Structure 1
Amino acid sequence: MKVSARAIRADVQAARARHPELFAPSWRHRATVIGIVSLLLGLFAFGFWRLEFSFQKVLSGLGQLGSLLWLMLPPNPGSWAKFFTFLNALAETVAIAFLGTLLAALIAFPIGLIAARNTTVNRLVQFASRRVLDGIRGIDTLIWALLWINVVGLGPFAGVLAIMTSDIGTFGKLFSEAIEAADKKPVEGIASTGGSRLNQIRFGILPQVFPVLAGQVLYFFESNTRSGTIIGIVGAGGIGLHLAEQIRTLEWQAVSFLVIMILIIVAIIDAVSARLRSSIIGSPRQPSA
């Protein structure tokens, strides 16, 4: 049955007449929105002015950027000896990312359990663990790399520790949120049969959250491969040290070769991680006809 536009307008007008307060414009809401937008625009303009942003500098620098890109062509490591040195450093970067991510996940998992509301020991422990995770997460990976270099010295070991420490805070937060979002029905079912608290976590929560946690770990492994490049520049091992050295000596063809190597390995890890995530999480079931 079709309803005419005239009938719809009549119904709307009748509803306005019966409940005028629902259709009246909320000036307080509009003023709040206008105030927030004005504040954001003011901060944006202030940031441009305070940081001395200049479109003229950007446009004038485009020519220099083009010249720099021209110097990078064709990508060339310089010699076979350098190529194998770069390849070894790239493998070292991947190893740093893998070990750092794996250690962080193993350490963050029990912390995530006590930081989640539905699996914690008590509220005080949950609050303390959340604040510890916030403190660890508030320090960037590069800062952790500089700190660990002063503790254990230069090399890939410092890079592993830097990535591990930084990711503990992030993993702990993500793991605890995933655990808190788990469905309560399986836990209640296990509890109704007399299952212990440990059994409720083991059989009621972990099967639900494990695919999510595994997907997060795989994503961070890919991300940490890029982070491993950055921390290598400050001496934490990996290909970043060679990249910084080639930039310092103006070997732009070697720089472009290293960048291409990094892009290729990140693309490979991304493809493999995507396949693993899809196999772990699984495709959604199609509704039966």
Structure 2
Amino acid sequence: MRLQNIDGPERERILASYPKVFAPDYGRRAATILATAGIVGLFVFGLVWLGFSPSALLRGVSRLGIILQAMFPPTAGQQLPVYITALGQTLSIAFLGTMLAAALAFPLAFFAAKNVAGMWVVRFLTKRSFDVMRGIDTLIWALIFINVVGLGPFSGILAVAMSDLGSFGKLFSEAIETASRKQVEGVLSTGASKVQEVRFAIIPQVLPIFLSQVLYYFESNVRSATVIGIVGAGGIGLYLSNEISQQSWDHVSFIILMILGTVAAIDFVSARVRRSIIGMPVRA
């Protein structure tokens, strides 16, 4: 029962018996007010420092309306076969980059897992390597590999693979560390070696999780492969950038619809595959 629901002498008795409990905490209130004021002030300072302009925003909204009108109706003109080929190239970049990253991360993750790798130095170096790789955005990796192997989808595949290698390594190693000890103890009781422990006790537990994560990242990498195509890493992103620079907005809207439709289809399929892999019922 709350104090507000108590009236009369009983309320007065409780207040007199526990004055510190019901006394206003002015220090906490002041700290809350100061923290809120600091956040608001930092937000306003950021807007001013970065040149936020309401008038420019209003002009931009009107310009955006003109662009949206120019986007309809979407059309590919004579470029439809080229766009389809480029979209297939984007899907190939995402798929091959994701698979390459998963194949490399699968064995390396065991060196980062505490319950498999005994030497802390090995775990530390492996985990920090994963942090470095996933700390650099896919777009940055694309710019690096364009200067290493040249323009084209090969640099896009390497960029996706390098970025995902760090993410997969972290996720895979965490899944390995949370594997149940019951299966491990059962395998060890038969006199199994360390390799057999990993093969027959840990991998069967974590493999569905690995596959689910790979499918999710493949879906996400379709969008990433589109973005890195803008900087010359191949795929539909290059054509999207060219059409925007030429202000062919009807072609731009057609390409965007192609990308959205492809991502939606992949999401629909991969969601059901992930649910079947991890044993969850498939929902409509």
TM-score category of the 2 structures, normalised to the smaller one = 0.7 to 0.9
Correspondence 1:67 to 2:57: no
> Does 162-171 or 46-55 show the bigger shift?
46-55
- Matched positions, count: 278
The equivalent residue for 1:57 is 56
Task: Tell me how far apart the structure 2 counterparts of residues 28 and 213 of structure 1 sit (CA, whole Å).
Answer: 49
Task: Tell me how far apart the structure 2 counterparts of residues 255 and 116 of structure 1 sit (CA, whole Å).
Answer: 46
**C-alpha spacing 1:20/1:101, structure 2 compared with 1 (3 Å):** farther
Amino acid at match of 2:94: A
The equivalent residue for 2:191 is 194
TM-score (norm 2): 0.87
Amino acid at match of 1:57: A
The equivalent residue for 2:177 is 180
Correspondence 1:251 to 2:248: yes
The equivalent residue for 2:269 is 272
The equivalent residue for 1:287 is none
> Does 106-115 or 92-101 show the bigger shift?
106-115
Selected match of 2:207 from 196, 210, 217? 210
Query: Identity of paired residues, percent?
Result: 51
In the TM superposition, what is the alpha-carbon distance from 1:101 to its structure 2 partner? 0.2
Once the two structures are superposed, residues 216-266 of structure 1 have per-residue CA deviations (whole angstroms, 9 ceiling, x without a partner) of 110110111011111111111101111111111111111111111111111
**C-alpha spacing 1:70/1:17, structure 2 compared with 1 (3 Å):** same
Q: Structure 1 unaligned runs (5+)?
A: 285-289
Task: Tell me how far apart the structure 1 counterparts of residues 89 and 240 of structure 2 sit (CA, whole Å).
Answer: 14
TM-score (norm 1): 0.85
Task: Tell me how far apart the structure 1 counterparts of residues 127 and 26 of structure 2 sit (CA, whole Å).
Answer: 39
Correspondence 1:44 to 2:43: yes
Correspondence 1:96 to 2:108: no
The equivalent residue for 2:156 is 159
Selected match of 1:135 from 132, 137, 144? 132
Once the two structures are superposed, residues 45-85 of structure 1 have per-residue CA deviations (whole angstroms, 9 ceiling, x without a partner) of 22122112233322332111011010011101122xx1001
Q: Structure 2 unaligned runs (5+)?
A: none
Selected match of 1:122 from 119, 123, 127? 119
Correspondence 1:87 to 2:84: yes
In the TM superposition, what is the alpha-carbon distance from 1:207 to its structure 2 partner? 2.0
The equivalent residue for 2:216 is 219
Superposition CA RMSD, Å: 2.8
Task: Tell me how far apart the structure 1 counterparts of residues 224 and 84 of structure 2 sit (CA, whole Å).
Answer: 17
Correspondence 1:147 to 2:144: yes
**C-alpha spacing 1:77/1:200, structure 2 compared with 1 (3 Å):** same
Once the two structures are superposed, residues 193-214 of structure 1 have per-residue CA deviations (whole angstroms, 9 ceiling, x without a partner) of 4332223222222222222211
